[in-house]
Amino acid sequence: MQKILTELQNRNSLIKIILSDTKTAEFKKIIIRPILIKNNLFWQFEKHTQNKVYHENIQDVEFLELIKLVLQEYMQIAFFYTGYTVTFSGSKGKYTKSQSSNNLKEITILDFGCGKSYLTFIIYHYFVYIKKIKATVIGYDLKEDVVQNCNAIALRYGYENLKFYVNDVTKGNLYNKPIDMIITLHACDIATDYALDYAIKNNVPFIFSVPCCQHEINQQIRSNGDFDILLKHGLIKERFCALLTDSIRAEILSQNGYSVDLLEFVDFAHSPKNIMIRANKTTRKIINFDIQTLCDKYNFKQTLWQLQKNPKN
């Protein structure tokens, strides 16, 4: 245990900590990340049960005392740094330490529907200047004037591997080189589906997608079963259809070998479009629901599901 506590003294350079392999703890896994809130350092505890994820932010001054209590319930503790990982395996206070290199020396990120690209610039700065990782970031948007402005800003700041292009993600020729990460922030309606379809068909390892304006199912769905009570009132119907859309997207990702979380990335007060689909590629495909039966029963089509059924797209 002392070796782990010593490792915690290096926490200023940590990317994250993962606690796993437990028989006694309430949470099967805990992921801990440093975050800044109003320029103050906090540690976000992301606690996983079998079906839910809970978040709690802990001030840095309270961090060591809390984690000391948590550590003893887990048999594997991994500390992730830029370029390498330190892992402790064991139980009852006796752990074996090992160290391995991370493969993430450089990364290529594709941003669908980047708009004015506030997020795109932050991501580029984060990887290149904070984490010291060589990053190539590509942004796509429909508006030529916005794209030109973003390229001019990137040039002004010397962001040589940050490029923006005019492209319709539903029609255009997309990036044909290996991609490590797809991001979408409020890509409107079915643009999110085309981004997720691209990620699935190109085996993109990491996906961070915040959907917006899920009108598609709302415009088609018809009453025909247990959900009818949610379709009676327009406001409830709209919200239900948005949640149904994202649930179908998450299920499709799961069926294609992704581990998927749906989480609130900001408070609802800041934006009602605050659900993030976070996924990483695994080797395990899980089928939980029959999507086609659901579509047929309630008389709607969903774009990502249609794209997956047509591999030529």
* pLDDT beyond 70 at 290: yes
Q: Are residues 89 and 233 in the same domain?
A: no
* pLDDT beyond 90 at 139: yes
Average pLDDT, whole number, for the chain?
A: 86
User: Residues 180, 278, 22, 55: is their CA dihedral positive or negative?
Assistant: positive
Domain boundary at 101, 131, 166, which? 101
pLDDT tier at 86 (50, 70, 90 boundaries)?
A: confident
Domain tally, the chain: 2
Task: Give CA separation, 278 vs 93, 146, 163, 178, 262, in Å.
Answer: 33, 27, 24, 19, 6
Q: Are residues 71 and 119 in the same domain?
A: no
Query: Which residues are bridge partners to 295 per DSSP?
Result: none
Q: Are residues 76 and 92 in the same domain?
A: yes
- Strand pairing of 258-264 and 275-281? antiparallel
* Closest C-alpha to 19, from 48, 55, 52: 48
The token pair at 87 is 């892992």
* pLDDT beyond 70 at 272: no
pLDDT tier at 82 (50, 70, 90 boundaries)?
A: low
- The residue segments making up the domain with residue 128 are 106-309
Say which residues have a Cβ less than 8 Å from residue 83's Cβ, sequence separation at least 6.
101, 102, 104, 105
The pLDDT, as a whole number, for residue 101 is: 66
Q: Are residues 95 and 125 in the same domain?
A: no
Q: Are residues 229 and 117 in the same domain?
A: yes
Q: Are residues 29 and 170 in the same domain?
A: no
pLDDT single digits (tens) 89-138: 876 667 788 877 665 588 999 998 888 899 999 999 999 988 888 899 99
